[in-house]
Amino acid sequence: MLALSARGVLPKVDYAIFADTGWEPQAVYDHLDRLEREIANPAGIPILRVSSGNIRDDALDPDHRFASMPLYILNPDGRPGMTRRQCTGEYKIKPIKRKIRELLGYPHPVRIPKDVFVEQWVGISTDEFHRAKDSDVKYMRNRHPLIDLGWSRDDCVRYLTSIGLADTPKSSCLGCPFHGNAQWRHIRDNSPKEWEDVVAFDAAIRKGNARANASGNQLLGQAFLHRSRVPLAEAPIDHVTASEWAAMQRRLGDDSVDVEELEAGVVEGCSPWACRGAAPDMARDDFGLAS
Ligand code: SF4
């Protein structure tokens, strides 16, 4: 959408906002710098980088409240579970809203008059139109220009390729549990330092986040980044056949994912304005936590 706006296919936007969780792959930060240099700056579109902190550091900091990532849990009785996702709200939605209020001149908690609002573009394509939603606040009105153009994901990839951006990386936290095996392998095979980083993080959250542990609310089960609920360093991220995965699901009692999703990742991964809607049944705020 930034390129379409900068090149006059869509009207010119006043700003583009990037919500930085502090833990994106280096390739994403490099790509953002490139977009800024080659596309946004020449068109006079400022890219505003907003942040609520560093999700990785916060998870491991006993003095910091942890906005839960969607971790895979193995309870003491062997039942599988998940922690509810709060990270998108904390690290993406919150800082974007804060910045928008600031741009409008009504920083929190000042009341915003009802006729004051921004038009916010959300980059959802036609294949996921069911994720297009109205904003939950009156000072932001959502528009979905890719849907208006009738563009699918493939159309977007074709356009990016045509303007020399075929290598656009997928934005998400380096250690996001929504990764599929393809993404985990990509990190392992292309970026050994980042792989070391996610493996170390996975080991560090096995008993839950640092704040919960420090306050005596430690996890009774174990937490994992990989869906198999096996430590990431040993998790089956290379080719998994449908029958191997079916056997693993039987062992875990988790039949919520098929082998394609295991490979490609959670289809509706992490997007500030297009959450997955209802949380899966086994997701709980306090799942497996001591009271
Ligand atoms: S990318 Fe994953 S870990 Fe990061 S904020 Fe989104 S859901 Fe949370």
Q: Is 21 in the pocket of ligand 1 (CB under 6 A)?
A: yes
In whole angstroms, what is the distance from residue 232 CA to residue 176 CA? 12
Q: Are 279 and 84 in contact (CB under 8 A)?
A: yes
How far apart, in Å, are the Cα atoms of 166 and each of 69, 158, 160, 163? Answer: 30, 8, 5, 8
The finding on whether 1 has its CB within 6 A of some atom of ligand 1 is: no
Interhelix angle for 181-190 vs 192-204, to 10°? Answer: 120
- Is the CB of 2 inside a 6 Å radius of any atom of ligand 1? no
Using the mean position of ligand 1's atoms as its centre, give its distance from the Cα of residue 115 in Å. Answer: 33
Which of 94-98, 162-166, 271-275 is least confident? 271-275
C-alpha 262/C-alpha 153 separation (Å) is 20
- The structure tokens listed for 235 are 């998790």
Strands 222-224 and 72-74: antiparallel
Rounded to the nearest integer, the mean pLDDT of the chain is 88
pLDDT band at 274 (very low <50, low <70, confident <90, very high): low
* pLDDT of res. 276: 47
Q: What is the pLDDT of residue 125?
A: 94
CA torsion, ordered 204, 207, 213, 219, to nearest 10 deg: 150
Residue 269's φ and ψ, nearest 5 degrees, are -25, -130
Ligand 1, atom 7, residue with closest C-alpha: 270
Measure the CA–CA gap between 210 and 173, rounded to whole angstroms.
19
Q: Is the CB of 18 under 6 A from ligand 1?
A: no
Strand pairing partners for 142? Answer: 120
- Lowest mean pLDDT of 85-94, 123-132, 204-213, name the range: 204-213
Dist CA 267 CA 74 (whole Å) = 23
Whether ligand 1 lies within 6 angstroms of the CB of 126 is answered as: no
Measured distance CA(80)–CA(287) in Å, rounded: 10
Between residues 186 and 84, which one has the greater pLDDT?
186
Which mutation among 20, 84, 88 tests ligand 1's pocket best, with the greatest number of atoms within 8 A of CB?
A: 88
pLDDT given at position 275: 55
Which pLDDT score is estimated for 191? 97
pLDDT digits (tens, 9 = 90+) for 227-256: 999 999 999 999 777 887 788 777 777 777
Query: 270 C-alpha vs ligand 1 centroid, how far in Å?
Result: 6
* Atom 4 of ligand 1, nearest CA residue: 173
Question: How many alpha carbons fall within 13 Å on the CB side of residue 14?
Answer: 6
Q: What is the pLDDT of residue 188?
A: 97
- Distance, CA 172 to ligand 1 centroid (Å)? 6
CB of residue 176 inside a 6 A radius of ligand 1 = yes
In this structure, the number of other CB atoms found within 10 A of the CB of residue 76 comes to 10
Section 34-39 average pLDDT: 98
Give residue 231's pLDDT: 97
The secondary structure element, H or E, covering residue 94 is: helix 94-104
Q: Is 68 in the pocket of ligand 1 (CB under 6 A)?
A: no
For 139-174, letters b (16+ CB in 10 Å) and e give: bbebebbbbebebbeeebeebeeeeebeebeebbbb
Q: pLDDT at residue 263 above 70?
A: yes
The pairs formed by 278-286 with CB atoms below 8 angstroms and a separation of 24 or more are 279/84, 279/85, 280/82, 280/256, 282/80, 282/81, 282/82, 282/256, 283/70, 283/81, 283/82, 283/83, 283/84, 283/85, 284/81, 284/83, 284/84, 285/68, 285/83, 285/84
pLDDT > 50? residue 279: no
71 lines ligand 1 (CB under 6 A): no
